[in-house]
Structure 1
Amino acid sequence: RAFDADWLREALTGAGIEPVIPPKSNRRFPAEFDRETYKWRHLIENLFGRLKEYRGIAMRCCKTDESFSAFIALAATVIRLR
């Protein structure tokens, strides 16, 4: 909600990006947003936050892209199994 500004919405739309920003509660004319897309966005942001708890992912300790990708898959599996 902190990013709810008309100029930002116009800039995103001009760049071909659909803004999925819920309006602030004190806004006189609330802007429209897709609630279903926002729910998925929230889940993905939470997953990234949990992935960053693993030091190797946050610091990018793996030497190759393949091992980094494997480490992300392993961490996501552990998170999902919790």
Structure 2
Amino acid sequence: MEVVIPPKKNRKMRREYGKDLYKHRHLVENAFLHLRHRQGIATRYAKNNTSFLAAVQILCIALWLNIS
């Protein structure tokens, strides 16, 4: 296991953490946060997994286009 979360700033003994891994983790957490704020995805009761996955993928593409 590798430490990913950075230590607090007031910690006396600094410890190492994976800065690149933390950046990727932060991006993934923000993506899930945006997905949860969309009511169409958060409360979607699709009849099958394929249509739900398609809706999530379309929203992820839309998020990616706005961010980039």
* TM-score in terms of structure 2 length: 0.82
Q: Where does the alignment leave 5 or more consecutive residues of structure 2 unmatched?
A: none
Aligned residues: 66
Q: Provide the alpha-carbon RMSD of the alignment.
A: 1.4
Query: Does the 8 Å contact 2:2/2:17 carry over to 1?
Result: no
What is the aligned partner in structure 2 of residue 45 from structure 1?
A: 29
What is the aligned partner in structure 1 of residue 52 from structure 2?
A: 68
1:21 corresponds to 2:5: yes
Q: Relative contact order (C-alpha < 8 Å, sep 6+): which is higher?
A: 2
Runs of 4+ aligned structure 1 residues displaced above 6 Å come to none
Q: CA deviation at 1:56?
A: 2.6
Aligned match of 1:36 in 5, 11, 20? 20
Cα 1:19–1:59 change in 2 (3 A) is farther
Aligned-pair identity in percent equals 41
* SS of 1:45 mapped into structure 2: helix
* TM-score in terms of structure 1 length: 0.70
